[in-house]
Amino acid sequence: MSTVPSPAPPELAGRRQMSGDERFRFACDPSVPCFTRCCADVNVVLTPVDVLRLARRLGLTTTEFLARHALVPITKELQLPVVMLRMGEDEGRRCPFVGEGGCGVYEDRPWSCRMYPVAMALPPARAGFEPRPLYFLLEDGFCRGGEGGRAWSVDEWRRDQGVLGREELESGFRDIVSHPWFIGGRRLDPKRCEIFFTACYDLDRFRAFVFESTFLERFELDAGTVERMREDDEELLRFGFRWLRFALFGEPVLVPRAASRRTA
């Protein structure tokens, strides 16, 4: 497969595209004059890992978190549901988690908050092209972080911000949204969009679907996998991505019991 770079998506047009080893200067701490300016009136896209970690931090189910703190804007252009952090309803539209000391959920802050001032985009799936994340530098006028500090490569920044530790789970999600099934602009029907939303974002509903239905009777799953899914949210999320590859795209990554009996 080719890895020829793709053009920037419209929302990042005009931003400086960066390779993983390209350098930029940045420093951010409570002494900067713009401290927390970036935590208001901003579009923070949430990944499934973000939703799960924020919900657990706040002591909420994922269903409660999504109802209280998320927006799911529906537009004709979107191939899949996108989940965004709901900003406050005050005039400045401040993030509900920001306080005088900065981010109140810092250890579990969303992926895009960690990555700022770097943004990432996934190009649409194209035949013959390996989906490869594109990085861009957000040189926003209000942010003074670029005026000093040390030079970082994108890869060093990802490591410093704790992004690499969750990369395996995040890439499982990216494999879904950039799946070759979408090549040519194919779209999921509303029922499959709902399946995608539940497995990716509403993990507590997905848990009920797996453990409180006939699901486990219908698929060949070893007892160890089932136990790990029962005890570990991230294992369940990992399984959710596997389930989606089966349910949405027909990949043979799960074996229905009837099929396994037929081939036995």
Provide the binding-site residues for ligand SF4, judged by CB under 6 A: 28, 32, 34-39, 44, 95, 97-98, 103, 105, 109-110, 113, 116, 142-145
Element (H, E) at 99: strand 98-99
Least Cβ distance, residue 172 to ligand SF4 (angstroms): 23
Least CB distance to ligand SF4 at residue 157 (A): 12
Cβ-Cβ contacts under 8 Å for 45 (sequence gap 6 or more): 82, 83, 84, 110, 112
Shortest distance, CB of residue 168 to ligand SF4, whole angstroms? Answer: 23
| 151: Cβ contacts below 8 Å, ≥ 6 apart | 23, 24, 25
Measured from the CB atom, is 28 or 247 closer to ligand SF4? 28
Q: Which is nearer to ligand SF4, 84 or 103 (CB)?
A: 103
Tell the smallest beta-carbon distance from residue 30 to ligand SF4 (Å).
8
Q: 15-51 burial, b if ≥16 CB within 10 A, otherwise e? A: beebeeeeebebebeeebeebbebbbebebebbbbbb
Judged by beta carbon, residue 70 or residue 95, the one nearer ligand SF4 is 95
Cβ proximity to ligand SF4: between 87 and 236 the closer is 87
Residue placing its CB nearer to ligand SF4 in the complex, 131 or 145: 145
- Nearest approach, Cβ of 20 to ligand SF4 (angstroms)? 21
Parallel/antiparallel/unpaired status of strands 118-121 and 134-137: antiparallel
- Closest approach of ligand SF4 to the CB of residue 146, in Å: 8
Give the 3-state DSSP-derived string for 135-193, with helices as H, strands as E and coil as C: EEECCCCCCCHHHCCEEEEHHHHHHHCCCHHHHHHHHHHHHHHCCHHHCCCCCCCHHHH
Closer to ligand SF4 at the Cβ: 144 or 192?
Answer: 144
